[in-house]
Amino acid sequence: MILALTGGTGGAKLIQGLAAEIDPAELTIICNTADDAIFHGLYVSPDIDTIIYTLAGLLDQEKGWGLAGDSFAALEQLGRLGEEMWFKLGDKDLATHIRRTRLLSAGHKLSEVTDWMRTVLGVKSKVLPMSDDRIETRVVTAAGEISFQEYFVRERWSPEVHQVFFAGIDKSIPSPGVLTAIRNARGIIVCPSNPVTSIGPILAVPGIRRALVESKSRVVGVSPIIGSSSLSGPAHKLMKVTDLESSAAGVAQGYADFLTALVIGVEDEGLQPCIEKLGIKAVSANIRMNSLADKRRLAREVLALV
């Protein structure tokens, strides 16, 4: 089984390529849940939904989230009734959040609800939340502490960030099957997701990072950054906050205790020596993924390394 750690829209692109290159039933995915949030009383799990929608062929490709062809009539009416509208929940997408919220309030765990959802949507890959416990990325800005979605979507990641922390992380445990998947994987892939707010929370769940360090299989990452700016989102800004250089070398630094190899952009070939000094093999490739062909090619290059 090939295991992939992911969060956000960048990771989902590589997952799409991987699922097209190998039998999807051979792929297990550990997903960030620290971006999860309550909107209109509904529990929304963006990273899990983005992965399941991607693998079910239902994702809105140009947004990188939500369901293709969705409408927003319910959200408009919610706005008229005085609800916040900055987080765009589509009409079909709302069905996911209504059902997930009902199952969670009936006492089911997030991992059970996730397994039910991927099964009913015909997804063959296992999708594991990093934890069934509530973990929330909190962003401390000059204007105060806000949630990840308030930072990322409402404020369009423009505020200056002083600190990022994961509320609830200390007493959280990995969800069922996560540690076993890390131990049994024939290869592990760290997707090109935000190292601070997508991969960071996964690594911070007690037990997960140690399992990766102790893993016998090769762990191959793909940099979400080319030069000093991220391919999508605020990774470069947030890495500065966590004392990581906002570059592919900074990504290598952040994963140095468990990474075997890091795929970096051809533009960053000059960083190979300092990454290899960390004991990590640096492989340069075209890491931009716009077409499915791009995603499949990069997936093949990563699979060749694991």
What residue ranges bind ligand FO1 (CB under 6 A)?
7-9, 35, 46-47, 49-50, 65-66, 87-89, 93, 149, 152-153, 198
Beta bridge partners of 264: 284
Place of tokens 């916040």: 84
User: What is the H or E stretch that residue 145 is in?
Assistant: strand 144-147
Q: Which is nearer to ligand FO1, 70 or 276 (CB)?
A: 70
Place of tokens 């996964």: 202
Q: Which is nearer to ligand FO1, 149 or 253 (CB)?
A: 149
Distance (Å, whole) CA 123 – CA 303: 20
Contacts of residue 144, Cβ cutoff 8 Å, sequence gap at least 6: none
CB of 48 to ligand FO1, least distance (A): 8
CB of 282 to ligand FO1, least distance (A): 26
**101-136 exposure pattern, b = at least 16 Cβ within 10 A, e = fewer:** bebbeeebbbbbbbbebbeeeebebbbbbbbbbebb
Residue whose C-alpha is closest to residue 114's, from 100, 98, 133: 100
Q: Which is nearer to ligand FO1, 187 or 233 (CB)?
A: 233
Place of tokens 């795929």: 263
Q: Which is nearer to ligand FO1, 66 or 187 (CB)?
A: 66
Q: Which is nearer to ligand FO1, 85 or 173 (CB)?
A: 85
Distance (Å, whole) CA 31 – CA 21: 20
CB of 172 to ligand FO1, least distance (A): 18
CB of 34 to ligand FO1, least distance (A): 9
CB of 47 to ligand FO1, least distance (A): 6
CB of 42 to ligand FO1, least distance (A): 11
Instruction: Look up residue 95 and give its two tokens.
Output: 């069905």
Instruction: Look up residue 245 and give its two tokens.
Output: 């250089």
CB of 215 to ligand FO1, least distance (A): 25
Contact present, 118 and 103 (Cβ < 8 Å): no
Give me the residue whose beta carbon is nearest to ligand FO1.
8
Helix 292-305 / helix 8-21 crossing angle, nearest 10 deg? 80
Q: Which is nearer to ligand FO1, 66 or 129 (CB)?
A: 66
CA 20 to chain centre: 19
Beta bridge partners of 220: 189, 261
Q: Which is nearer to ligand FO1, 187 or 201 (CB)?
A: 201
